Amino acid sequence: MNEDEHRMSERRIGIVMNGVTGRMGLNQHLIRSVLAIRKEGGVALADGLRLIPDPILVGRNAAKLEAIAKEHGVARWTTDLRGALADKDDAIYFDSQLTAMRAPSVAAAIAAGKHVYCEKPLAEESAVAMRLAELAKAAGVKHGVVQDKLFLPGMRKLKRLVDSGFFGRIFSVRGEFGYWVFEGDWQPAQRPSWNYRKQDGGGIIKDMFCHWRYVLDHTFGRVRAVQCLGGTAIPERWDEQGVRYDGTADDTAYGTFELDGGIVAQINSSWSFRVYRDELFSLQVDGTLGSAVAGLRECRTQHRVTTPRPVWNPDIENPFRFREQWEDVPDNEVFDNGFKVQWEMFLRHVAEGKAFPHDFVEGARGVQLAELGLRSWAERRWIDVPELGS
């Protein structure tokens, strides 16, 4: 193919990317998704064309943007968000800024006629998130929120088991999420300091309940009620500059959720638990016919016919090697980076109207569960989760 033919088989799509100096924006969205898609020659569309994402990096710090652009061979960057949104040649706005900054920027992008894709939480309050959903609908723009955990190999294999009927009737889901995040004094913290300050939009309930909402809704059944107890295990931390600050946000949450079908899900989330499991996240599912334990990448099962018969007897050496009695679910497919898979879906949604279930109403549902979790903790009671959207 000569250069002209090459160009004719390609279709460019401009993406205004805001928040790419951050951890998620840079690693997952710019490098592993948008630039990886470019490197592969774009996304294949049904009409045979290749859709090539063309990012313009937006942020507050010119020096940082310039350095990132240079290092990764990105041609365009700017500190002028308003100007970038005004450019009709760029069809999509992406946002991975600090959560507290998201809603006004997303609203401005919708007003400028952009399709919008963004990190979770969509907003700090579910009413604001639903308002963004309404604005996007009224403007006729496409909208989406990152729901990356659904695309993890472990979760994909778990979903496969659910869809196959492997479990029989599921009654219990138990999750452990977390790892030790260093305080920042004698070893630097491996997460941004705003995560631990309530006044800056931090807190593990706000952060993780968005994820638990779509994981539970999409894998097992709709979340109908929540009960949550939060806490701040580490009240004193040191920030990126080594300055001491008060940890004002929750860093630990013990959540229980009632789902459709009478399923009870319990998920512990913490940045102050030390890991004694195979992965940073693990979810055990028990059903009448079998059980499974899924992590980020792995998924293991035990069927009723291979279930051992333990008898309680602490007077003897434990005769069971319980972990060895579980069987690996094979991959049976190649799992690409989950963020990239979702980006490709969103790009196809914009370019050719392909279905994209992870929209702003879904984003609002995540924010709603976080909000109700916080309320449950404050009021020390179970709270029903009202239906949002249709």
Ligand X SMILES: NC(=O)c1ccc[n+]([C@@H]2O[C@H](COP(=O)([O-])OP(=O)(O)OC[C@H]3O[C@@H](n4cnc5c(N)ncnc54)[C@H](O)[C@@H]3O)[C@@H](O)[C@H]2O)c1
Question: What is the contact surface with ligand X in residues (CB under 6 A)?
Answer: 19, 21-25, 59-60, 96-99, 101, 119-121, 146, 148, 192, 194, 207
CB 217 within 8 A of CB 297: no
> Measured from the CB of residue 63, what is the shortest distance to ligand X in angstroms?
12
Q: Which residue lies nearer to ligand X by CB, 90 or 148?
A: 148
Q: Which is nearer to ligand X, 194 or 257 (CB)?
A: 194
Q: What are φ and ψ of residue 149, in 5° steps?
A: -65, -25
Q: Which is nearer to ligand X, 102 or 142 (CB)?
A: 102
Residue number, nearest CB to ligand X: 22
**Min. distance of Cβ 8 from ligand X in angstroms?**
36
- Minimum distance between the CB of residue 191 and ligand X, rounded to whole angstroms? 7
Which of these, 296, 293, 295, lies nearest to 327 by C-alpha position? 293
Strand partners, 246: 236
Residue 211 CB, nearest approach to ligand X (Å): 7
Minimal distance, residue 284 CB to ligand X, in Å: 21
Report the nearest approach of ligand X to the CB of residue 99 (Å).
4
Measured between alpha carbons, how far is 123 from 67 in angstroms, rounded to an integer? Answer: 29
Q: Per DSSP, what are the bridge partners of residue 173?
A: 265, 285
* HEC readout, the chain: CCHHHHHHCEEEEEEEEECCCCHHHHHHHHHHHHHHHHHCCCEECCCCCEEEEEEEEECCCHHHHHHHHHHHCCCEEECCHHHHHHCCCEEEEEECCCHHHHHHHHHHHHHCCCEEEECCCCCCCHHHHHHHHHHHHHHCCCEEECCHHHHCHHHHHHHHHHHHCCCCCEEEEEEEEECECCCCCCCCCCCCHHHHCHHHCCCHHHHHHHHHHHHHHHHCCCEEEEEEEEECCCCEEECCCCCEEECCCCCEEEEEEEEHHHCEEEEEEECECCCCCCCCEEEEEEECCEEEEECCCCEEEEEHHHCCCCCCCCCCCCCCCHHHHCEECCCCCCCCCHHHHHHHHHHHHHHHCCCCCCCHHHHHHHHHHHHHHHHHHHHCCCEECCCCCC
The residue (of 51 and 65) whose beta carbon lies closer to ligand X is: 65
Nearer to ligand X, 96 or 376 (CB): 96
Q: Which is nearer to ligand X, 50 or 72 (CB)?
A: 72
Distance in Å, CB of 171 to ligand X, minimum = 28
Residue (24 or 161) nearer to ligand X, CB: 24
Name which of 43 and 68 has its Cβ closer to ligand X.
Answer: 68
Compare residues 98 and 234 and give the one whose CB is closer to ligand X: 98
- What residue has token string 């069987």? 327
| Least gap, CB of 58 to ligand X (angstroms) | 9
Question: Residue 65 CB, nearest distance to ligand X (Å)?
Answer: 10
